[in-house]
Every structure is written in structure tokens, then in C-alpha cells.
């Protein structure tokens, strides 16, 4: 392809700047949107986690109040006995009579009180202690007992199993006591949107209310007092606003990311399309220039030869015949160029009608070579033909296939150097029939081997500045072969020449020859060399 002009390079730079001007702000806005959304989501998650921690603490306090109420309901007989001046045995008997909901009564004398731990619940001192020996799984919980003069006699209470107490009172605490807490904002409405679970000493889940819907904002708080071995986990329940907000933020981030990516992709696609259109405009401009030169050259030669014949400016009949031959050759060249342009225009517009039939590809190749032979011989080319007989027919349009072979021969003629040899062969290959044109010209670099089949493209190498052309020949060959259901293969090395191969499918009902079979040898009648 011809090197782009300064204007084309400037236009491409302008397109790149426009594309970056659209893509970079889109990326920045998308990144900013995602960053702000993540920050807001983080704040919401932190607030949800803080609220869950608060609820977990309230659940722990609710269990303590539940235990205090149970003690208050059971302690009055023992309090009455202590105020009446009864001894420790009578107080213990009163405790046994009042504490039917507990395991065993226990009286702690004043001197033993330092061995217990105190906990203030609703302005009341709740004393507790861990059991020892056979009672190590139990806890003591009791209240202070006072004598007739108000003096502290000790603590009266009972042994109980924390696990059993927590499981027995869990539903009442969650459903009734917790929503009634005046310090709990929202009351029962808030608790209905939470999942509350009781955890054992080893973190195992003992009981739960509602399925958790968002584990990241879940919080675990240990219980206090006699329930210190246990904990409460609070998390948003399924359908809670915190869960929907988190999902909404996730969808928003995905939406912003997709929109940002779509904007960038659209900008890049638009940039590539505009760049391609600019390149096509440059190629079309070059095409018009090349076609103009290609048309003017044969026309000028034809006019010169015709004027020479008209004015009889030749001395011998042989010179006159040479001018006539020049007119014929340039006319054929002009006709080929016009046919290429018209065929390409019809293919681009979808107006070409192919007349497919079973055709003999070697015969078509031979006829085309015979028509093109004068031009090859005039340039001093040697032509080697390998056209075996007995090959199966292919499904194709004979006229269009002649155009393909003609363009490949013309390409070999244009881009050959001093070694002017062209080999044309036909063979059976892989269930198809292949026609090849091989030259020893300038060759094609690997990076350009796909581009040369694009319309208006002429590779920027070697003879391209000396050889004129419209850049349509190979593109036309590929479009015609594709319309036949075949393909074009290229084998080329820079400086060593090129081999173009057209593979065409067999006609319907035709059997392919055996793989690897040879239909012609150097001594076969189908092989010939002319110069």
C-alpha cells in the first residue's frame, strides 16, 4: 500500500485524540462512580454491622433480665424467712420451696460472698459463680438476702444449666422481651428484619430465628454474667433492607462498569471505523490515480500506433504489423482493466449472477494461458504448464474462473524480476481441484499476505513504485473463489516468489480421486514448457 500522506497522518492523529477524549472521560467517570458506590456501600455495611452489634448486646442484656425475673419470682419465700430472723437451714428450705424451676437451692453466707461475682441488672445486684467438680457445667445465680435490721446475711439462689436456660427462654427473649426494650429503636419492626442465632461454647449454632441474608455485616457478641461461655450472632434476615441495599449497590457497580466499558468499546469501534473509512478514502484516491494512469497508458499507445498506421509512418510491412500487434495487446490490457473494475463493482453491489455448471478446470486454465501467452512472450517469460487429463470437473462459472486465472497471470507478470518463469498447474487435492500459478518474483512479506486480498491495497515493497495497478485483482480473485465455495491459498517468501492456489469444490455427483495419486509426470502429454 502506498505510504500515507501527511494529511492522512494528521487526520489519524486527530481521530486518536478524539477517541481518547471520549474514552478517557468515560473511564474516569465510571471509575469515580464505582469508587463512590463502594464507599457508600462500605458506610452502609459498617452502619448495619454497628446496629447488629448493638442488637447482640441487647439480646445479652435481655437474657440477664430474664434470669433476674426468674430469680425474683422464686426468691420471696427465702427473703421472708431471712427478714424473720430464720437460720441458714430455714432459708435454704425456703429456697428449695420457691425454686422449682431451678436445679438445686444454694445459700451463700456473708463470709462466702467474695467468692461470687456481682452483676447489676435493673439496679439489682445479681450474684453468680461457676460450679466445681460434678457441678462444673452448672452456674449459681442468686440475690442478696437481708436480716430483720436490714443487714446482709448472704445470697440465696439456685444452681442451673446455662445451656438449658438459654434454649428454654430464647424464643421469649427474641419475640417478647427484646422488642419491649425501650432503648431499642424500632422495636418489633426492627427485630423482624434480623436473624438472631445462639452460639455454643465452641461456636456451634444452637438455635436461630430467621435465615441470615448477608453474612458480611453479621456480628457476634459474647453474652455476659453466668452466660459468658455463649454468644449471640445477629445478621440481616432475607428480605431486610440492608440485604436489598447491598444487592442494589452490586447491581449499580455492575451497571456503571458495563456502561463505562460500553462507552469505551463504542469509542474505540467508532475510532476504528473512522480510521478505516479514512484509509479507504486514501486508498480510493490512490485507486482513482492508478486507474487513470492505467487507462491513459494503453489509450496513448493505441492512439500513437493508430496515428502511425494512419499516416503510414513505417517503412516495412513488418513494422506496420508490429504497430497492429501493439494495438491488439493494449486493447486486451485495457479490456482486462475495465472488466476487473466492472466485475468488482457488480460483486460489491451484489449484482453478479454466477452460472454454475460442471466445468473442466484444466481446459479453462489452458484457454486462459493461450489468451495471455502473447503478453508473457513479449516480456520474455517462459511458461511451464502441468495440466493433466482425467481430473474430475468442478462446480463453477467458466467466465469468472477465467478472470481469476487471468488476474493471477497478470500479477505474476507484473511482479517478476530477472528470473521470468511462470508455472501453471492443476491437480487434485483433498476432495477438490486446485489450480496454481507460481512465479519467481519479489515475493510477499508474511505481514502483508492477508492484506493483499483487501480491495485497493497494494503492498509497499520493491516494484510497487514501478508497476502500476488498480489494487483490485487479488481482491476480485478471492471474492469470485469464495462465491464458488472454494478458497485461495498463498505461499510466498520475500525475494523468492509466490505461489497462488485456487481450490474449487467438485461438481455434484463427482467422486474425488484417491489422495496422493499423480495424474501427470514430466514426460506426460499434459505437461509442456514454452518460451
Q: Of 279, 311, 336, which one is at a domain's C-terminal end?
A: 279
The secondary structure of residue 177, as a DSSP letter, is I
Q: Of 279, 306, 330, which one is at a domain's C-terminal end?
A: 279
For residue 455, the surrounding DSSP H or E stretch is none
Do 355 and 271 share a structural domain?
A: no
Q: Could you tell me if 441 and 417 are in contact, meaning their C-beta atoms sit under 8 angstroms apart?
A: yes
Distance CA(244)–CA(343), nearest Å, equals 63
CA atoms within 13 A on the CB side of 36: 8
Spacing of C-alpha 19 from chain mean position: 22
Do 370 and 245 share a structural domain?
A: no
Do 199 and 83 share a structural domain?
A: yes
Do 370 and 470 share a structural domain?
A: yes
Q: Of 217, 245, 279, which one is at a domain's C-terminal end?
A: 279
Distance CA(340)–CA(236), nearest Å, equals 74
181: in domain: yes
Domain count, the chain: 2
Give the pLDDT score at 221.
92
214: in domain: yes
Q: Could you tell me if 195 and 52 are in contact, meaning their C-beta atoms sit under 8 angstroms apart?
A: no
> Model's pTM, two decimal places?
0.50
Do 364 and 259 share a structural domain?
A: no
Do 362 and 215 share a structural domain?
A: no
412: in domain: yes
Give the pLDDT score at 198.
94
Which of 383, 382, 442, 377 lies closest to 416 in space, CA to CA?
442
The secondary structure of residue 418, as a DSSP letter, is S
Do 362 and 461 share a structural domain?
A: yes
C-alpha cell belonging to residue 298:
494503453
* Residues of the domain holding 196: 1-279
CATH number of the domain encompassing residue 432 = 3.30.565.10
The secondary structure of residue 135, as a DSSP letter, is G
Task: Write the DSSP string, 357-385.
Answer: EEE-HHHHHHHHHHHHHHHHHHTT-EEEE
Do 418 and 269 share a structural domain?
A: no
C-alpha cell belonging to residue 20:
481518547
482: in domain: yes
Q: Could you tell me if 383 and 529 are in contact, meaning their C-beta atoms sit under 8 angstroms apart?
A: yes
Cβ neighbours for 64, distance < 8 A, ≥ 6 positions apart: 119, 121, 126, 224, 225, 227
Task: Write the DSSP string, 228-280.
Answer: TT-EEEEEEBTT-HHHHHHHHHHHHHHHHHHHHHHHHHHHHHHHHHHHHHHHH
Residue with cell 477517541: 19
Do 484 and 394 share a structural domain?
A: yes
Radius of gyration of the chain (CA): 50
Do 37 and 173 share a structural domain?
A: yes
316: in domain: no
Cβ neighbours for 279, distance < 8 A, ≥ 6 positions apart: 4, 8
299: in domain: no
369: in domain: yes
- pLDDT (tens, 9 = 90+) of the chain, 531 residues, equals 344 444 555 566 776 777 777 778 878 888 888 888 888 878 878 888 888 888 888 899 999 999 999 999 999 999 999 999 888 889 889 888 887 778 889 999 888 888 889 888 888 999 999 988 777 889 999 999 999 998 898 999 999 999 999 999 999 888 888 777 666 655 444 566 788 999 999 999 999 988 887 777 788 999 998 999 999 999 888 777 777 777 777 888 888 888 888 888 887 787 777 777 777 676 666 666 666 656 676 787 788 888 888 877 777 888 888 878 878 877 877 777 777 677 666 666 666 677 889 999 999 999 989 888 888 888 888 889 999 988 999 999 888 898 889 889 988 888 887 788 899 999 998 889 999 999 988 888 887 877 788 766 666 554 444 455 556 778 888 888 988 899 999 998 888 889 999 999 998 765 554 433 333 333 343 445 454
Do 375 and 237 share a structural domain?
A: no
Residue with cell 513494422: 319
Cβ neighbours for 3, distance < 8 A, ≥ 6 positions apart: 460
Distance CA(423)–CA(412), nearest Å, equals 10
161: in domain: yes
Kindly give the pairing relationship between strand 231-236 and strand 487-493.
unpaired
Cβ neighbours for 255, distance < 8 A, ≥ 6 positions apart: none
Q: Collapsing DSSP states into helix, strand and coil, what is residue 312? A: coil
Give the pLDDT score at 287.
60
Do 191 and 42 share a structural domain?
A: yes
Amino acid at each position: 500500500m502506498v505510504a500515507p500522506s501527511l494529511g492522512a497522518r494528521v487526520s489519524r492523529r486527530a481521530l486518536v485524540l478524539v477517541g481518547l477524549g471520549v474514552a478517557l472521560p468515560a473511564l474516569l467517570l465510571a471509575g469515580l462512580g464505582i469508587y463512590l458506590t463502594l464507599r457508600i456501600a462500605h458506610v452502609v455495611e459498617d452502619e448495619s454491622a454497628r446496629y447488629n452489634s448493638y442488637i447482640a448486646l441487647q439480646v445479652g442484656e435481655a437474657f440477664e433480665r430474664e434470669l433476674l425475673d426468674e430469680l425474683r419470682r422464686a426468691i420471696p419465700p427465702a427473703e421472708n424467712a431471712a427478714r424473720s430472723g430464720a437460720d441458714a437451714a430455714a432459708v435454704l428450705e425456703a429456697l428449695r420451696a420457691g425454686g422449682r424451676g431451678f436445679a438445686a437451692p444454694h445459700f451463700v453466707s456473708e463470709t462466702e460472698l467474695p467468692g461470687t461475682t456481682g452483676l447489676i441488672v435493673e439496679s439489682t445486684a445479681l450474684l453468680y459463680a461457676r460450679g466445681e467438680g460434678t457441678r462444673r457445667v452448672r452456674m449459681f445465680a442468686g440475690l442478696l438476702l437481708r436480716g430483720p435490721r436490714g443487714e446482709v446475711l448472704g445470697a440465696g439462689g439456685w444452681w442451673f444449666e446455662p445451656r438449658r436456660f438459654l434454649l428454654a427462654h430464647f424464643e421469649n427473649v427474641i419475640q417478647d422481651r427484646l422488642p419491649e426494650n425501650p432503648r431499642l429503636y424500632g422495636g418489633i419492626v426492627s427485630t423482624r428484619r434480623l436473624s438472631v442465632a445462639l452460639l455454643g461454647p465452641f461456636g456451634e449454632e444452637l438455635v436461630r430465628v430467621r435465615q441470615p441474608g448477608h453474612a458480611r455485616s453479621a456480628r457476634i457478641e459474647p453474652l455476659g454474667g453466668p452466660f459468658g461461655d455463649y454468644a449471640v450472632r445477629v445478621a440481616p434476615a432475607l428480605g431486610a433492607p440492608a440485604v436489598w441495599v447491598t444487592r442494589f449497590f452490586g447491581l449499580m457497580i455492575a451497571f456503571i462498569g458495563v456502561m463505562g466499558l460500553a462507552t469505551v468499546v463504542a469509542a474505540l469501534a467508532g475510532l476504528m471505523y473512522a480510521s478505516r473509512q479514512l484509509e479507504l478514502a486514501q486508498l480510493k484516491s490512490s485507486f482513482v490515480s492508478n486507474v487513470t494512469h492505467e487507462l491513459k497508458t494503453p489509450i496513448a499507445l493505441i492512439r500513437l500506433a493508430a496515428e502511425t498506421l494512419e499516416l503510414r509512418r513505417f517503412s516495412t510491412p513488418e513494422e506496420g504489423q508490429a504497430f497492429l500487434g501493439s494495438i491488439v495487446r493494449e486493447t486486451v490490457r485495457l479490456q482486462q482493466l475495465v472488466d476487473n473494475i466492472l466485475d468488482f463493482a457488480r460483486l460489491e453491489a451484489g449484482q453478479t449472477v454466477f452460472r454454475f455448471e460442471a466445468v473442466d478446470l484444466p481446459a479453462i486454465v489452458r484457454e486462459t494461458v493461450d489468451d495471455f501467452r502473447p503478453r508473457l512472450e513479449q516480456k520474455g517469460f517462459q511458461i511451464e504448464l502441468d495440466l493433466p487429463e482425467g481430473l474430475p470437473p468442478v462446480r463453477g462459472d467458466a467466465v469468472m474462473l477465467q478472470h481469476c486465472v487471468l488476474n493471477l497471470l497478470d500479477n505474476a507478470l507484473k511482479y517478476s524480476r530477472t528470473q521470468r518463469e511462470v508455472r501453471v498447474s492443476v491437480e487434485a487435492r483433498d476432495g477438490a481441484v486446485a489450480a496454481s500459478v507460481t512465479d519467481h518474483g519479489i515475493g510477499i512479506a508474511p505481514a502483508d499476505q492477508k492484506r493483499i486480498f483487501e480491495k485497493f491495497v497494494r503492498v509497499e515493497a520493491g516494484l510497487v513504485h514501478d508497476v502500476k495497478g488498480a489494487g483490485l485483482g487479488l481482491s476480485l480473485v478471492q471474492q469470485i473463489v469464495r462465491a464458488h465455495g472454494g478458497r485461495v491459498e498463498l505461499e510466498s517468501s520475500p525475494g523468492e516468489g509466490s505461489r497462488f492456489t485456487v481450490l474449487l469444490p467438485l461438481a455434484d455427483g463427482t467422486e474425488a480421486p484417491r489422495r496422493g495419486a499423480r495424474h501427470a509426470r514430466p514426460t506426460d502429454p499434459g505437461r509442456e514448457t514454452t518460451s
